Amino acid sequence: MVDILLVGGGHAHLGILRRIRMKAVDYRVTLISASTYQYYSGMFSGFTEGLYSEQEIRINVEELCQQSGVTFIKDTIVHVDATNRKLVGTTGIEYGFKLVSFDIGSNIGSLDGSIKQIEIKPNYVFPNEIHTFRETAFPVVVGGGAAGVEMALSVQAWRLNNGYKSNVTVISSSPLLSSVSEKASSKIMKIVKQKGIVVHDQDEIQETSRQQLTTKKGRRIACSQLLPLTGAKASTLFAESSLTLDENGFLLVESTLQVKDYPWVFGAGDCVTIRTNPELPKNGVFAVRQEPVLWENINLYLTGKPLKSFVPQKKFLSILSVGQQQGLITYGRHAFYGRWAWRLKHSIDMKFMNKHK
């Protein structure tokens, strides 16, 4: 049995590994993750466009564990027994713990229909999957949020650079980036049109047949592959456990990032919903921000002291890569567009990667 079992090599756990590397702890710590590498989604767009190599966008979690004195186990957890403090991996191996923390991210929902769909989560499947999507005859992205817009623009940029004639299409049930702000929405509409992307917003897929989609508004769209990016979907891992989940299947934690009925179970990032902040967006920014509180609370719990609350900031800076090394910055209701925005994004992403390499 280990003292601290970290499940998933997500953003918050990477931060914890880095802390332990800088300052050793007396606890026995093990990290179990489905892949040796953690691919950083902030650089998915740059990889798609051909600006970064696969090496540049991934962190070797096993190596980081070795440097931190943490045991790394490559396995996928398939069963959680919170009462008996036991997890089960794919091969049936059981892992006991005093305290467990989950940072296993989320999945992407799939769509009905017969057209090939590309799955880019869990993040280690991303490079291979995006290669096939970039080259397909008629690529269609479904979803007009930040991830959908960014992937559409980076695939389009790569296709323009590589002599592909047909453009990327985006289908979105709402105006693009409408959940960010009106300003961001109107700016991105201009950008995507200028880059040649075909947008069908406030519309949805009704039917798919071979190489063609029909939307609710009756449009017929050529489509050889679909990339659904319609928001985070909960992992099925917790579904059969006794842990409390929100209505969408995400692990419900308190503001201390701790499960109420099982105080030895913690969680952070996309896989959790914080009871006091259910609307918090599921993105890497908040997963990173939760890490200092998660680590402090793990230590406080193990030493029997009162825990602290995670208090999310109301506004956060977001930078979307829009192709050709240009970016769109959004902060609250503000939105700015330009080359400098991409350069800022590039330097933030590089800083994040260098911290963990």
Ligand X SMILES: Cc1cc2nc3c(=O)[nH]c(=O)nc-3n(C[C@H](O)[C@H](O)[C@H](O)COP(=O)(O)OP(=O)(O)OC[C@H]3O[C@@H](n4cnc5c(N)ncnc54)[C@H](O)[C@@H]3O)c2cc1C
Residue with smaller CB distance to ligand X, 62 or 270: 270
The least distance separating ligand X from the CB of residue 259, rounded to whole angstroms, comes to 16
Asked whether position 151 contacts ligand X by CB under 6 A, the answer is yes
Among 4, 9, 59, 294, binds ligand X (CB under 6 A): 9
| Contact residue for ligand X among 25, 30, 41, 310 (CB under 6 A) | 41
Give the strands of the sheet with 317-323, arranged side by side.
Answer: 317-323, 326-331, 334-338
Distance CA 75, CA 301 (A): 26
Q: How far is the CB of 232 from ligand X (least distance, A)?
A: 7
77 scored as a contact of ligand X (CB under 6 A): yes
20 makes contact with ligand X (CB under 6 A) = no
Q: To the nearest whole angstrom, how small is the minimum distance from the Cβ of residue 250 to ligand X?
A: 10
Q: Supply 43's token pair.
A: 């650089």
In the complex, what is the shortest distance from the CB of residue 186 to ligand X, in angstroms, rounded to a whole number? 21
Which of 282, 289, 346, 356 touches ligand X by CB under 6 A?
282
262 belongs to the binding site for ligand X (CB under 6 A): no
Binding of ligand X at residue 290 (CB under 6 A)?
A: no
Q: Would you tell me which residues interact with ligand X (CB under 6 A)? A: 7-12, 32-35, 38, 41-42, 44, 76-77, 103-105, 120, 122-124, 147, 150-151, 229, 235, 237, 269-271, 282-285, 287
